[in-house]
Structure 1
Amino acid sequence: MQANIEMVKALLDPGRKVVVLTGAGVSAESGVPTFRGQDGLWKTHRAEDLARPDAFAARPELVWEFYNWRRTLVAGCEPGPAHLALAAMERLIPNFLLITQNVDGLHGQAGSRKLVEMHGSLWQVRCTVCTHAREDRSALPPLPECPVCGHLLRPGVVWFGEPLTPGVLRLAVAQLRDVDVFLSVGTSGLVQPAASFHQLARDHGAVTVEINAEPTPSTGLMDFALHGPAGVILPEMVPGTAS
């Protein structure tokens, strides 16, 4: 695998356009639960059953309890070597974009600035009625109220069954149609629309790279498939970040 790592490293030239997609596997290395397998339960509830607009409508206090627990958990996590390597990669490559499916904010904490958070952020809250939205890392009450109109606030994340924030997908697609190298890092390749990003990039001539702990349904379609911890592989590709 070392030879492939060196070849991908050579592709990450400052003159090339690079787009990186990250998923839960990157943050799992920092201790953030993936909510798959044994991590999929909170108390007696499946995470997928709580991260839904109908669940919030029916039991907002329960959903907020779940999200406040997640916020507390993530607040104790630090960016890992993969997060830091991607922030360093951004500084080396002028035409760079990082698209993440994660909502934990660790990429921003690591220093990434050319960043699109596809599914929002645990640290964002927004009103269920008016347009008020803000970043808020404070301890929230069980049913936080909007300071503008007094109605209920909700987590600023994209729930199952909801569309992406307007413009997010349009930006991602535009970048993927004009990219030289596409890296898929720590994602299972199962959640659309991100699961199709590698094919869109490949159709427009990009070299595609998968970095994941294990093979995915997309592995056979990638130009390079590097299997192992992203926190080990990515630092080897960015000068000065390998330990």
Structure 2
Amino acid sequence: MRELSVTESVPEDVVTLVREARQVVALSGAGMSAESGVPTFREVQRGLWERFSAEELATPDAFEADPALVWTWYRWRQALIAAVEPNPGHRALAAWQRHLADQGGWLAAVTQNVDDLHERAGTDVLAHLHGSITTHRCADCQEPVEVPDPAYDGFTVPPEPEQPPRCPACQEGLARPDVVWFSEMLPAEAFDAATAAIRASDLVIVVGTSGIVQPAASLPLLGLERGVPLIEINPEETGLTEVMDFAIRGRSGEVLPRLLAAAGIPLDRR
């Protein structure tokens, strides 16, 4: 494994990998969203939730015990996410995806993040491994539930909990965010799609993920088994660093645009 600083020039072997790749998987984690101003999942709670850790709120048991408290926390986080913008790293991945599509290749975006920043940057996301905070489903019958955007401004903590709506399909269950809570399984369709993409890839980029949240952290190992080159982009060493071919130390918004520019991949839309 070769570890590089963002201040160094991009080595030609990394540039060559990016330039010649035609089937790329980009696996993104919380660090990428944090660059846009989205608080990471385990940051300090405020207001209604200051007595709780995120781990205490993100469970089926917590929702059953106090659905209004959990529902309002997620609605507030959704509003906060809506108030920030994709960063240059998100936009670079979107540009890379467009470039590869024009060349007859593909870039499969696989994210552990529940936000929609990749989509708002223009990326077609193959798999949200931990679900999406912008969609909702019934906690009982699992049918999708359409919910209007939250009225919060994303910065002011709501003064009171808000009751989740009833499911219009079954008339019994409560709407819940379509995210993966602790003790729940990852959506099989998303995980299978990510697995298939990595097994068909010729390059895997791991961006802004700690490499400790399973089973998502095991996905790059599928590329390792096949000898697919692995590149990590992260300011710090992670649980996956030791299996990487290259580890570039820096923020995605700095590294990805530089990497694409060095490989001659245009960053503008057209």
Q: TM-score, normalised by structure 2?
A: 0.83
The residue type equivalent to 2:41 in the other structure is F
Tell whether 2:108 aligns with 1:101: no
Pairwise CA distance, 1:136: 4.1
Q: Distance in 1 between matches of 2:235 and 2:145?
A: 34
Matched residue, 2:219: 197
Matched residue, 1:66: 73
Could you tell me which of 26, 32, 52 is aligned with 1:20? 26
Query: Compared with structure 1, are the counterparts of its residues 15 and 217 closer, same or farther at alpha carbon in structure 2 (3 Å cutoff)?
Result: closer
Unmatched 5+ residue regions in structure 1? none
Matched residue, 1:119: 130
RMSD, matched Cα? 1.9
Matched residue, 1:41: 45
- SS of the counterpart of 1:142? coil
Q: Distance in 1 between matches of 2:10 and 2:148?
A: 41
Bigger Cα displacement from structure 2, 100-109 vs 133-142: 133-142
Bigger Cα displacement from structure 2, 149-158 vs 222-231: 149-158
Question: 1:123·1:135 contact (CA, 8 Å) conserved in 2?
Answer: no
Matched residue, 2:181: 159
Q: Distance in 2 between matches of 1:190 and 1:149?
A: 38
Q: Distance in 1 between matches of 2:191 and 2:230?
A: 19
- SS of the counterpart of 1:159? coil
- SS of the counterpart of 1:116? strand
Q: How does 1:1-243 map to 2 (within 5 A)?
A: 1=4, 2-4=8-10, 6-13=12-19, 16-36=22-42, 39-42=43-46, 43-93=50-100, 94-134=105-145, 136-139=147-150, 142-150=163-171, 151-238=173-260, 239-241=265-267
Query: Compared with structure 1, are the counterparts of its residues 191 and 5 closer, same or farther at alpha carbon in structure 2 (3 Å cutoff)?
Result: farther
Query: Compared with structure 1, are the counterparts of its residues 186 and 15 closer, same or farther at alpha carbon in structure 2 (3 Å cutoff)?
Result: closer
Q: Provide Cα deviations, 1:31-83, integer angstroms capped at 9, x if missing partner.
A: 001123xx143422111111111111111111011111101111101111111
Query: Compared with structure 1, are the counterparts of its residues 136 and 107 closer, same or farther at alpha carbon in structure 2 (3 Å cutoff)?
Result: farther
Say how many residue pairs are matched: 240
Query: Compared with structure 1, are the counterparts of its residues 122 and 114 closer, same or farther at alpha carbon in structure 2 (3 Å cutoff)?
Result: closer
Q: Distance in 1 between matches of 2:83 and 2:148?
A: 12
Q: Distance in 1 between matches of 2:235 and 2:243?
A: 17
Q: Provide Cα deviations, 1:10-38, integer angstroms capped at 9, x if missing partner.
A: 212365211110000000010001123xx
Query: Which structure would you say has the larger RCO, counting Cα contacts within 8 Å and 6 or more residues apart?
Result: 2
Structure 1 runs (4+) deviating above 6 angstroms are none
Question: 2:204·2:230 contact (CA, 8 Å) conserved in 1?
Answer: yes
Identical positions, percent: 45
